[in-house]
Structure 1
């Protein structure tokens, strides 16, 4: 989240400050039962199941088209999927109810038959492939995965919701996050070389790393720095 934050937005109640990932900060200010990170440690399948069961149900679908305003009723207060499955809901749970409930969960990393990374802001130009390549290297290249796991263990990383919120707010302005980002990016670049990715892909990642990560900057910071370095052109003056 800190490496790829790219939606600067005014911070709530602080007009002089901006969140690096405004979209994720906004998401974090909604229902914590469905937006917070999953717990670390243990079997990921068990952790995801418990997370989904304990999340509150958003609504109960009627027998009407999904695009109809009458398609949904508000869920009873405090109704979780677990309680609904145990008979506490307004009717029996159907398979579609479970599917729609799972689609309503938006933690930073979501299991949807694949890993959906919801904390990576939209990147400019070809930079969209950078987070994809970095994550692929961290997951698919065994030496890189082992090295990344050692980094996590060495720093005793078990991020809480507060840590994720801070990453969205500050990006790589946090010195510890900036140092970890540089270490992670270095590992990913080595992994991409071993994976034999096309030179064009590697070049985009390397350029991104040099322009942003290794300088301790998220894209949002770079954009702000470039705006600050270019004074506004007075009205009536033509810039050549």
Structure 2
């Protein structure tokens, strides 16, 4: 019989939070792409889960991993690799293979950050997602849209090397994440109240449960801030200790700190429970033993290349130092960025300055002419014009209200 997992203590919790920021000894980059999938013969019907799951094997040639999201979106996670250009090449090759597998089944994916043609419908029936849906439904309908009808580009980077010691990647990504929201916004639209959004997708994420989607504090040491954030967020799902594929839904109202202090009918939390709870939190920058930048809308492949180069450049010591000294702290402006984009003067000015710093330093991460050409074209077509990719199309109407975001996060 395996020994029981020890009850979580404050010291164990602190150690687990600290481990999320430890250096791995390697400097790696990974990209995650999501796409809504459609059968154009029956466009209003979501593909069957069994059909979608049939594309997961055999392994992809680039080493990436295919997973299926709750609404049937296909997610491709590239294999972590040294260097931004290597990550770009790997995800591009694997994306072509994913596309071919879908086409062989009469399916196709769309580059769309918010799908508005089909109502949100979950096709994954796993307990985790059942708990998530019921938890979010208790607040507002936004959570279903997030789970089933949104798609993003996520850039994952290693924590700072051990010798750096100042967590500059954590701080610089949090500092300018709202500028990146606006810079790559690709889901312009209007919600049911008539409010215009540059990134409907980011608005949806920020509205569904601010306690688990707002920015983590940056005025504290990173591990302390992350643990405080996790403790204040409500528990939504408690694992079955004998079978982690199973579990029990928890209604809103029980923070992890309260569970840890008072216990409940399931007892007291363990290290495994806190590890799982971390995975149900979705801040703009999430520590996982690496850093996930979670704020970018799904974009076409050539813009994905530009975005990867931007993120890969800003975490380098020279660019990060310039940004931290020359760019305002935008970390409380996620809703402003999602709503107003380039129309906000501070956001627009910051994007221009960040772009200048990136162009001055991008040679530190890539010398690939084809990749650099994508970045230069993006800057020429969009950033220099005060535009984001979503400005290319007509705004669409989202039949839900995004007014559930606290006013404190929408003002300066």
Which residue of the partner structure matches residue 40 of structure 1? 218
Which residue of the partner structure matches residue 255 of structure 2? 80
Cα RMSD over matched residues? 2.2
TM-score in terms of structure 1 length? 0.81
Q: 1:213/1:28 Cα in 2 relative to 1: closer, same or farther (>3 Å)?
A: same
* Aligned 8 A contact 1:83 1:89 in 2: no
Q: 1:44/1:149 Cα in 2 relative to 1: closer, same or farther (>3 Å)?
A: same
* Aligned 8 A contact 1:212 1:222 in 2: no
Which has the higher relative contact order, 1 or 2, with Cα contacts under 8 A spaced 6 or more apart? Answer: 1
Q: By how many angstroms is 1:172 displaced?
A: 1.4
Correspondence 1:45-60 to 2 at 5 A: 45-60=223-238
Q: Which runs of 5+ in 2 are unaligned?
A: 1-180, 397-412
Q: By how many angstroms is 1:7 displaced?
A: 1.6
Identify the range of structure 1 (196-205 vs 22-31) with the bigger mean alpha-carbon deviation.
196-205
Which residue of the partner structure matches residue 102 of structure 1? 278
Which residue of the partner structure matches residue 211 of structure 1? 381
Residues 173-200 of structure 1 deviation map (CA, whole Å, 9 limit, x = unaligned) = 2222112101101111111123343111
Answering whether residue 315 of structure 2 is matched by residue 139 of structure 1, we say yes
Residues 140-165 of structure 1 deviation map (CA, whole Å, 9 limit, x = unaligned) = 2x22111111123xx3x2532xx211
Residues 31-70 of structure 1 deviation map (CA, whole Å, 9 limit, x = unaligned) = 11101111232312211111111111112234686666xx
Counterpart of 1:192 (choices 339, 362, 370) is 362
For 2:207 and 2:347, locate their aligned partners in 1 and report how far apart those are by CA, in whole Å.
22
Answering whether residue 300 of structure 2 is matched by residue 124 of structure 1, we say yes
TM-score in terms of structure 2 length? 0.49
Structure whose residues are more often helix by fraction: 1
Answering whether residue 363 of structure 2 is matched by residue 182 of structure 1, we say no
Which residue of the partner structure matches residue 89 of structure 1? 264
Structure whose residues are more often strand by fraction: 2
Which residue of the partner structure matches residue 22 of structure 1? 200
For 2:360 and 2:394, locate their aligned partners in 1 and report how far apart those are by CA, in whole Å.
30
3-state SS of 1:120 partner: strand
Which residue of the partner structure matches residue 334 of structure 2? 164
Number of positions where the alignment pairs a residue of Structure 1 with one of Structure 2: 215
For 1:186 and 1:121, locate their aligned partners in 2 and report how far apart those are by CA, in whole Å.
22
Residues 81-116 of structure 1 deviation map (CA, whole Å, 9 limit, x = unaligned) = 122222333312133321221111011111112111
| Divergent runs of 4+, >6 A | none
Q: Which runs of 5+ in 1 are unaligned?
A: 228-240
Q: By how many angstroms is 1:136 displaced?
A: 1.1
For 1:147 and 1:41, locate their aligned partners in 2 and report how far apart those are by CA, in whole Å.
19
* Aligned 8 A contact 1:79 1:89 in 2: no
Counterpart of 1:148 (choices 305, 314, 323) is 323
